[in-house]
Chain A
């Protein structure tokens, strides 16, 4: 087994350009599960852990830029939570302390599970991903990046470098239903983010479709059913719940049923909206 631990992005990109069979490892919390299960034969590894350019986060002119190598533990911290509470809440729902110390947001994006917990927040925010290869860099909207269940637009030789999202004014909530009180794969999850300046609400829906979905109909409802002077919901919440359900396309699987997921996503979205607009 060959393993490289480059210190710079340029070195990391060169390493994967030179060895087309190299597997990229960040926290390893998804990859090692696959390797141990014999589902992903690996001949060489390129570790991203020491790559300086992937670390940390920063804000600049109303934008938050999060390095792909940020761990959940970093995103949970109060300084980050003050800026992007929903992402901090989502980070806290992930796995156990050990998993949150190792697992990264870049890994969550690259894995692209419909149950990935940061994704509803990032989808709600129309996150832009910064992607680089040894020869080029590009930017792509998250909705174009997530092309299917566990399928992304990431190409051979590319790395996710960072994620950019707008910093919004207003309360945010992330809720996740699982069949255990911690360390569980989501059965349904929802991110509800107020955008007071735009007088709107952004909604991301997890585990209720082939990819994480945007709650477009429900968002449209909030524009006219919230009194933006007093920040109170004035419309009938049952309508909102029905729209959230119509925005989602859950299935039956061994973790839950289509019917329960549809039920739960509606309840969670309503609770989230009530917390955001108490």
Chain B
């Protein structure tokens, strides 16, 4: 309270605290990574291979160096430290030197006085390629000639659960396919590197995994980790696409080489070529059930195309396989999971991380099974839902909140939207004015999904926070990357709640404090939220013990409960916690033209506890937008290894006319044991089953099988041909 008047009380946990960076972002005043600037800085630019598969015969940088204003041209020969990097296995070269394995692979970088000079210099580098036939079919990768010394199989994971030979009275089988989705974040990759006097370098970087960026960069630079001082720069979205490094090593090499600050900023095309994507997948399933609908066995073969380098393929495949059956009790299973290497663009993390692909398939199977049984599809799901105390396909017994039945019931019981309004713009085809009212058929589809929270399989992805309280103002220092999810808001709410203060400063996220891990796996509210809570509680204790001190400070490392590796049968307690979600989609389809308008997506989600209702809604709406995008339009078109749409002209993401109304039927608040404030992560579930629900609704409207997403108009119009 200030003297002379009431000071407004700042929002605590459970309230819709406004984002501290919200208004600056709306006004265009927030400094994103692309706004970075240093006096005397140079501009970096990357030369990328235009071919998916080639031998590099020669690289002549002479013509580029001869251009006025060019300060440096660096290639693989200039990498002082480790020549390769990678989140799981260091199999990806900093620069390709002998072999090109995907279109867009970096060959060289240039630093110049102006972006245009850098562009011309890149064009002047002469590379002679000897083209080789790209390996582009994931089905042929495992048996094919290795395209990398590590071989073509990133991981082969087999889950044997119960007795996989059990046969059901009713059996349904299907093959499904998911196209390559991109994170398509708005703020392209950007970074600024400033050389330090001690031979180190300062790096400002748009990222979601700061400390691992730092470690990987230092290793490739041949520097001790502490010589690379990294700070998160304003990051315009991530969705998994910034978990791997891209320009980090390049921009630091240029700065160290020239002794000047260097900035790199990807163009939109480079952004599409420069980060990993969601794995395209081919999924074969066979479900076995009793006549009454009880699931008895699921068999599946999952082939995930990881592209040229490992990235997180192994963990993505683990998720896909562990959750391959969906949130149902299935006593027996055989899951044959493959993540393979091809000459397609590298794939890695994206919101939903492996669970999205299998959800599309297992939910299509559940609908197919319901049809074969003559049973209501929701009823079939309710009969098989997982509950606390049940085991998932890995044998892990669920000990936390498992409100699958609750999310299903809340979702299906919510009211359906009214019939179409009659406005042309609101019909399928939208602004194109293609549909008259009588061309439109409505469909309703339903899907349920789940996935793990935090990293799995024995990974200790802890987070660190330092809190200082002085003169009634709390300062929180945590390296958690704010990528738009709202951690900066939550930090303030947690500190206010625990310390009972109003003023909370969020210090820049940098490497002068311990790691916070990655902003991914729906983990930061739990992990870094827990770290901030822990540090605040230590400060509170200090205040109690020593009330008169001039300031208090504490650092807390938050670790989640340990997990295990999966054994040779894919069994083990590999995951920390799980979140469950249901979606019901309503679509209008112009059946003759195969055009779709998603009218509404209703959802109920298992959240543990809502810490900020407005931000929860933001995550749900955004996640559904990405799920709808994958269902009806978002796909990187890769033909013979060549990306055909590395731009927003042809990589389509939903516009406001494509975005359905989002109806939050219910947020199920069953506090999760072990979770700070009982809150589960909420970022990924909205994307997991929304795609599957939209696909089911399109099936309902058209009768087309919709075995592939994104569904294209020609798939609906010529559906009969696809089946035969």
Tell me whether B714 and A271 are in contact (CB under 8 A): no
Q: How far is the CB of A54 from chain B (nearest CB, A)?
A: 26
Write out the residue numbers on chain A whose beta carbons fall within 8 Å of the beta carbon of B430.
180-182
Tell me whether B434 and A271 are in contact (CB under 8 A): yes
Give 1 or 0 for each of B578-606: 1 = CB within 8 Å of chain A CB: 00000000000000111101000000000
Tell me whether A175 and B433 are in contact (CB under 8 A): yes
With both beta carbons as reference points, the residue of chain A lying nearest to B629 in the complex is identified as A180
Write out the residue numbers on chain A whose beta carbons fall within 8 Å of the beta carbon of B656.
182
A254 to B432 alpha-carbon distance, docked (Å): 20
Tell me whether A254 and B645 are in contact (CB under 8 A): yes
Write out the residue numbers on chain A whose beta carbons fall within 8 Å of the beta carbon of B718.
259-260, 263
Q: Is B633 an interface residue (CB 8 A)?
A: yes
Stretch at the interface among A31-39, A128-136, A161-169: A31-39
Q: Which residue of B431, B592, B595, B712 contacts A93 across the interface (Cβ within 8 Å)?
A: B431
Give 1 or 0 for each of B596-632: 1 = CB within 8 Å of chain A CB: 0100000000000000000000000000000000000
Tell me whether B431 and A268 are in contact (CB under 8 A): no
Tell me whether A36 and B267 are in contact (CB under 8 A): yes
Q: How far is the CB of A180 from chain B (nearest CB, A)?
A: 5
**A residues within 8 Å of B by Cβ?**
33, 36-38, 89, 92-93, 96, 173-187, 189, 254-257, 259-260, 263-264, 267-268, 271, 275
Write out the residue numbers on chain A whose beta carbons fall within 8 Å of the beta carbon of B637.
254
Tell me whether B432 and A178 are in contact (CB under 8 A): yes
Q: Given the interface contacts A177-B713, A271-B434, does A182 sit within 8 Å of B644 by beta carbon?
A: no
Interface residues on B, range: 35 or more
Tell me whether A254 and B714 are in contact (CB under 8 A): no
Within 8 A of A (CB), among B255-287: 267, 269
With both beta carbons as reference points, the residue of chain B lying nearest to A174 in the complex is identified as B433
Tell me whether B714 and A267 are in contact (CB under 8 A): no
A206 to B662 alpha-carbon distance, docked (Å): 35
A158 to B244 alpha-carbon distance, docked (Å): 50
Write out the residue numbers on chain B whose beta carbons fall within 8 Å of the beta carbon of A38.
119
Q: Which residue of A185, A254, A264 contacts B593 across the interface (Cβ within 8 Å)?
A: A264
Q: Is B35 an interface residue (CB 8 A)?
A: no
Tell me whether B592 and A182 are in contact (CB under 8 A): no
Tell me whether B432 and A176 are in contact (CB under 8 A): yes
Give 1 or 0 for each of B628-653: 1 = CB within 8 Å of chain A CB: 00000100010100001101011010
Tell me whether B433 and A182 are in contact (CB under 8 A): no
Tell me whether A176 and B593 are in contact (CB under 8 A): no
Q: Is B428 an interface residue (CB 8 A)?
A: yes
Write out the residue numbers on chain A whose beta carbons fall within 8 Å of the beta carbon of B267.
36-37
With both beta carbons as reference points, the residue of chain B lying nearest to A36 in the complex is identified as B267
Tell me whether B433 and A93 are in contact (CB under 8 A): yes
22 A-B contacts, Cβ less than 8 Å apart?
Answer: A36-B267, A37-B269, A89-B433, A173-B433, A176-B433, A177-B429, A177-B432, A177-B593, A177-B595, A179-B712, A180-B658, A181-B430, A182-B431, A182-B657, A183-B655, A185-B650, A254-B637, A254-B645, A256-B713, A260-B594, A268-B434, A271-B434
Write out the residue numbers on chain B whose beta carbons fall within 8 Å of the beta carbon of A96.
655
Give 1 or 0 for each of B698-722: 1 = CB within 8 Å of chain A CB: 0000000000000011100110000
Give 1 or 0 for each of B420-436: 1 = CB within 8 Å of chain A CB: 00000000111111101
Tell me whether A260 and B713 are in contact (CB under 8 A): yes
Q: How far is the CB of B645 from chain A (nearest CB, A)?
A: 6
Q: How far is the CB of A191 from chain B (nearest CB, A)?
A: 11
Q: How far is the CB of B45 from chain A (nearest CB, A)?
A: 10
Q: List the 10 closest A-B pairs by CB distance, nearest first.
A: A181-B430, A176-B432, A260-B714, A181-B657, A182-B657, A182-B431, A254-B644, A182-B655, A180-B652, A181-B658
Write out the residue numbers on chain A whose beta carbons fall within 8 Å of the beta carbon of B657.
180-182
Within 8 A of A (CB), among B637-694: 637, 639, 644-645, 647, 649-650, 652, 654-658
With both beta carbons as reference points, the residue of chain B lying nearest to A181 in the complex is identified as B430
Tell me whether A177 and B434 are in contact (CB under 8 A): yes
A271 to B639 alpha-carbon distance, docked (Å): 34
A174 to B429 alpha-carbon distance, docked (Å): 13
Q: How far is the CB of B33 from chain A (nearest CB, A)?
A: 18
A89 to B431 alpha-carbon distance, docked (Å): 9
Tell me whether B269 and A260 are in contact (CB under 8 A): no
Tell me whether B592 and A267 are in contact (CB under 8 A): yes
Q: Given the interface contacts A37-B269, A254-B639, A268-B434, does A182 sit within 8 Å of B593 by beta carbon?
A: no
Write out the residue numbers on chain B whose beta carbons fall within 8 Å of the beta carbon of A173.
433
A268 to B593 alpha-carbon distance, docked (Å): 9
Write out the residue numbers on chain B whose beta carbons fall within 8 Å of the beta carbon of A93.
431-433
Tell me whether B714 and A256 are in contact (CB under 8 A): yes
A180 to B645 alpha-carbon distance, docked (Å): 15
Q: Given the interface contacts A89-B433, A175-B432, A185-B650, does A180 sit within 8 Å of B655 by beta carbon?
A: yes
With both beta carbons as reference points, the residue of chain A lying nearest to B592 in the complex is identified as A267
With both beta carbons as reference points, the residue of chain B lying nearest to A92 in the complex is identified as B431
A155 to B647 alpha-carbon distance, docked (Å): 30
Tell me whether B717 and A260 are in contact (CB under 8 A): yes
Write out the residue numbers on chain A whose beta carbons fall within 8 Å of the beta carbon of B436.
271, 275
Tell me whether B431 and A181 are in contact (CB under 8 A): yes
Q: Given the interface contacts A37-B269, A254-B650, does A181 sit within 8 Å of B714 by beta carbon?
A: no
A259 to B712 alpha-carbon distance, docked (Å): 13
Tell me whether A180 and B650 are in contact (CB under 8 A): no
A256 to B717 alpha-carbon distance, docked (Å): 13
With both beta carbons as reference points, the residue of chain A lying nearest to B647 in the complex is identified as A37
- Of listed B269, B436, B593, B717, residue having the most chain A CB within 10 A: B593
A93 to B424 alpha-carbon distance, docked (Å): 12
A174 to B650 alpha-carbon distance, docked (Å): 23
Write out the residue numbers on chain B whose beta carbons fall within 8 Å of the beta carbon of A89.
433
Give 1 or 0 for each of B49-64: 1 = CB within 8 Å of chain A CB: 0000000000000000
Write out the residue numbers on chain B whose beta carbons fall within 8 Å of the beta carbon of A254.
637, 639, 644-645, 650
